[in-house]
Structure 1
Amino acid sequence: MTGDEGVRLLGPAEIRGLAESLGVHPTKKLGQNFVHDPNTVRRIAAAAGLDDTDVVMEVGPGLGSLTLGLLPRAAHLHAVELDPVLAARLPATVAEYAPGLTDRLTVHHRDALQITAAEMDPAPTALVANLPYNVAVPVVLQALANLPSLRKGLVMVQLEVAERLTAAPGSKIYGIPSVKLAWYASSRQAGKVPAAVFWPVPNVESGLVAFTLRPQPETAVPRTEVFAVVDAAFAQRRKTLRAALAGWAGGPAQAEIALRAAGVDPQARGEQLTVTEFAAIAAHRYREPR
């Protein structure tokens, strides 16, 4: 099992051996499902579209399967791992399986939802990760909000989450994650990953989501104000926007005024609007005297 630049990748025997030596028993609480198929690792590493200047942030490296596939393709890799046992072991695994690339790795024993840009030097340009299912969306959105150096990403998430993140307006699964990711980036589904390549085998399929950062919508309204409209619109997604945004706007009449000022039909529903339209609605209220 050979990877780029003499790197050896982890297969089923290596994964189970490492876990046994560490006394690691994968837990649902931490969303631990370890990839044990080298071909899948190569596929994900290639799909990430990295160049030799990219600095990768990998969330939840676990036993190091994907880490070993990414290191030859990146200038540096920040591995952010919550589990103290796994975080402590990762440098030794890289030294054993990718001995020439140890200087490219920095391990952060941290919660990915709390890590800051100041803690990562050099600054990350790409988020590439097999994300725990239970925190996938918050991790992606938090990274995009707090790491201005990011340019692109490829994340593996539950297939249903992948579909929601990349959904377009008008779709039944278009919702808060779809709109908020669209605020930062263009995104697309980049393939499915079968359950059989994981240990333990999850009871759902996984999907890859690729995204590329783009200029945020042109508006003087802070992101938090726009996201407040999004949250309100989808909190009661069966209702018209006139009704759903009443609490946010101060009443149905005020909501209708804001909607009409933004060129949005008050009888429309949140799932029909683009992120730009949500920003236009927020802009009307934001400009009003408080």
Structure 2
Amino acid sequence: MSLLGAAEIRELAEALDLKPSKSLGQNFVHDGNVCRKIVRTAGLTPTDIALEIGPGLGSLTLAMLEEAQAVVAVEIDSRLANQLPITAAKHSERADILTVINQDALTLKSLPIDPTVLIANLPYNVSVPVFLHLLEILPSLRSGVVMVQAEVADRLAAKPNSKEYGIPSVKAAWWADVTGAGSVSRSIFWPQPNVDSKLVGFKRRETPGDEELRKKVFAIIDLAFAQRRKMLRSALSSMYGGSAAAEAVLSAAGIDPTLRGEALDIHGFCAIASQQVES
């Protein structure tokens, strides 16, 4: 199977009269070696159903077709969605295992088959919402690797008491263990972005609780980091009717009220939310 190079990427774009859209985060990967490296990093096997978000012109898709049992690609741009099966058929004898869905990933509620691995160059302008949405609605996803803006990757993989740790870090940890998986050069993209990119890997684990608890936990996380220099007793005061009440809830949960949100892992936030149910 031949993967797409820089020249063919440009030819395809010209044939489609496609000018890469900043609003859709369209930066197309044209380095086949990098695409295969991403697939290897994700540990894709012949029994896996691979999910790709924002396949664009198909560089990463073709690398996934080499390894997976099936590939589902979700593409918001109808021109790209219509072209992708054609490109796959031209380059791969396994094009029949590809399903293309022309839809905004943020509006997905389900898929025709249950994917097991997520591999994607996520649109950078919506990478965190898309990543969290997929973890929420697709429990069959057990692992994956996504390419995102470098600072977003650092936030997703951050641990408590680091400057990068924040809302994305804690919310992603509800579903999965997230780690950094390496950097990629700006030169592999067309057009070349003005930001650096990194890979983030994840492995799903059992969630700390049910959907009712998750919603409470996420509301507390949002408040805790809205003004991240505030102590938790102040940051959560609006939820509990004042700082004194918030301090009582935090103490009952075994959390020091003078800590800031950045000091707690997902289990700490769950302890607070669970106390809210009891109070």
The amino acid across from 2:216 in the alignment is E
Runs of 4+ in 1 over 4 A off after TM superposition: 218-221
Shift of 1:197: 0.6
Instruction: Name 1:167's counterpart in structure 2.
Output: 158
Question: What TM-score does the superposition give when structure 2 sets the normalisation length?
Answer: 0.98
The question of whether the paired residues in 2 share the 8 Å contact of 1:219 and 1:279 is answered with no
Aligned pairs for 1:54-69 within 5 A: 54-69=48-63
Instruction: Name 1:19's counterpart in structure 2.
Output: 13
- Asked if residue 236 in structure 1 is aligned to residue 230 in structure 2, the reply is no
Shift of 1:95: 0.3
1:90 match: secondary structure: helix
Aligned pairs for 1:1-290 within 5 A: 7-98=1-92, 100-117=93-110, 120-218=111-209, 222-288=213-279
The question of whether the paired residues in 1 share the 8 Å contact of 2:74 and 2:102 is answered with yes
CA offsets 1:122-160 (integer angstroms, 9 cap, x no match): 211111100111000000000011111110111000000
Mapped to 1, the partners of 2:211 and 2:106 lie a distance apart of 27
The amino acid across from 1:104 in the alignment is I
Change (3 A) 1:219 1:60: closer
CA offsets 1:246-289 (integer angstroms, 9 cap, x no match): 0122211111111101111100000000100000001111223x
2:233 match: secondary structure: helix
Question: What TM-score does the superposition give when structure 1 sets the normalisation length?
Answer: 0.94
The amino acid across from 1:135 in the alignment is V
1:73 match: secondary structure: coil
Mapped to 1, the partners of 2:128 and 2:40 lie a distance apart of 23
The amino acid across from 2:149 in the alignment is Q
Mapped to 1, the partners of 2:14 and 2:59 lie a distance apart of 16
The question of whether the paired residues in 2 share the 8 Å contact of 1:221 and 1:286 is answered with no
The amino acid across from 2:35 in the alignment is V
Shift of 1:216: 1.1
Counting aligned pairs with the same residue, the percent is 54
CA offsets 1:92-137 (integer angstroms, 9 cap, x no match): 0000011x212210000000001122xx232111111001110000
CA offsets 1:180-202 (integer angstroms, 9 cap, x no match): 11111111100001101100000
Shift of 1:221: 5.2
Mapped to 2, the partners of 1:286 and 1:81 lie a distance apart of 40
Mapped to 2, the partners of 1:65 and 1:33 lie a distance apart of 11
Mapped to 2, the partners of 1:65 and 1:76 lie a distance apart of 16
The amino acid across from 1:18 in the alignment is L
Mapped to 2, the partners of 1:221 and 1:122 lie a distance apart of 27
Change (3 A) 1:181 1:245: same
The question of whether the paired residues in 2 share the 8 Å contact of 1:221 and 1:279 is answered with no
Change (3 A) 1:90 1:220: closer
* Count of matched residue positions in the alignment of Structure 1 and Structure 2: 279
Structure 1: segments with no counterpart, 5+ residues: 1-6
Mapped to 2, the partners of 1:14 and 1:28 lie a distance apart of 21
